[in-house]
């Protein structure tokens, strides 16, 4: 599983002429890193100096840790789903029956391949929200890591959107297609909010 790999091994596979892992897994890891940075800043924001916000810091820490785990699950799921997509496109199509079977398999695989990026976009939104909440109450000495977290979430959302866009035309489930469209539409807002986090961080360090 990708989530259990050493970084060097993962990068070697990512750079190889192999279909997986690819951009979807990389996007999920962007999200995982962003969430981990949030958790780190929160853990540096404890003790007497931050006592007034202790409950909120605990909430942010726990939420960030959960997002790390969820994002890593998305990375593994994306790799599995993309493999299924390749298998579907490789099915025979010599007869009408084979073509129909192949078309159905591609639709199912596209649905499966669309779910991880949709989840990554949701994670990116939560990362931005946590960063926004932490800026005014967190440890100023590590506040720049919140900008790094926002940038990671921004990248995760942007990559996930294009992965949804390439698969969505093959998705026949109308409810899923609508949810995918809404997730993709939210990316512009996520990226705008990520830029706002970075600017707020810059304001803090300019004081």
What tens digit of pLDDT does each residue of 131-167 get? 999 999 999 999 999 999 999 999 999 999 999 999 9
Q: Given this model, what pLDDT does residue 98 score?
A: 87
What tens digit of pLDDT does each residue of 119-137 get? 999 999 999 999 999 999 9
Q: Token digits for 89? A: 């496109």
Q: For residue 87, which of 105, 101, 68 has the smallest C-alpha distance?
A: 105
pLDDT-based confidence at 1, cuts 50/70/90? confident
Helix (H, G, I), strand (E, B) or coil at 46: coil
The DSSP line for 113-151 is: HHHHHHHHHHHHHHHHHHHHHHTTTS-GGGTHHHHHHHH
Q: Token digits for 112? A: 């499966």
pLDDT-based confidence at 2, cuts 50/70/90? confident
Q: Given this model, what pLDDT does residue 154 score?
A: 98
What is the domain-level CATH number for residue 68?
1.20.120.680
The residue segments making up the domain with residue 133 are 2-206
**C-beta of residue 36 within 8 angstroms of C-beta of residue 64:** yes
**Single pTM value for the model:** 0.93
For the chain, helix (H) and strand (E) counts, in that order, are: 7, 0
Q: Given this model, what pLDDT does residue 47 score?
A: 95
44 pLDDT more than 80: yes
pLDDT-based confidence at 83, cuts 50/70/90? confident
Number of domains in the chain: 1
Q: Token digits for 1? A: 């599983």
Q: What percent of the chain has pLDDT over 90?
A: 82
Q: For the residues 43-49, what does the mean pLDDT come to? A: 96
User: What's the sign of the alpha-carbon dihedral 69, 120, 31, 199?
Assistant: negative
User: Which residues fall within 8 angstroms of residue 92, CB to CB, at 6 or more apart?
Assistant: 98, 102
Dihedral angle at the C-alpha atoms of 133, 135, 139, 143, nearest 10 degrees?
Answer: 130
Q: For the residues 47-60, what does the mean pLDDT come to? A: 96
Dihedral angle at the C-alpha atoms of 136, 137, 142, 147, nearest 10 degrees?
Answer: -40
What tens digit of pLDDT does each residue of 5-38 get? 999 999 999 999 988 899 999 999 999 999 999 9
Q: Given this model, what pLDDT does residue 3 score?
A: 79
């Amino acid at each position: 599983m990708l989530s259990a790999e050493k970084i060097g091994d993962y990068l070697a596979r990512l750079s190889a002429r192999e279909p997986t892992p690819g951009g979807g897994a990389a996007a999920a890891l962007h999200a995982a890193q962003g969430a981990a940075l949030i958790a780190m800043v929160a853990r540096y924001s404890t003790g007497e100096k931050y006592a007034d916000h202790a409950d909120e810091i605990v909430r942010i820490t726990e939420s960030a840790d959960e997002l790390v785990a969820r994002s890593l699950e998305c990375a593994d799921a994306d790799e599995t789903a993309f493999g299924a997509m390749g298998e579907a496109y490789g099915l025979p199509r010599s007869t009408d029956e084979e073509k129909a079977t192949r078309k159905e398999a591609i639709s199912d695989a596209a649905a499966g391949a669309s779910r991880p990026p949709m989840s990554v976009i949701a994670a990116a939104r939560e990362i931005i929200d946590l960063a926004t909440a932490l800026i005014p109450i967190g440890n100023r000495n590590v506040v720049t890591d919140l900008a790094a977290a926002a940038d990671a979430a921004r990248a995760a959302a942007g990559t996930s959107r294009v992965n949804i866009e390439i698969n969505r035309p093959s998705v026949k489930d109308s409810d899923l297609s609508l949810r995918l469209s809404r997730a993709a539409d939210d990316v512009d807002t996520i990226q705008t909010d990520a830029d706002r986090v970075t600017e707020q961080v810059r304001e803090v360090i300019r004081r």
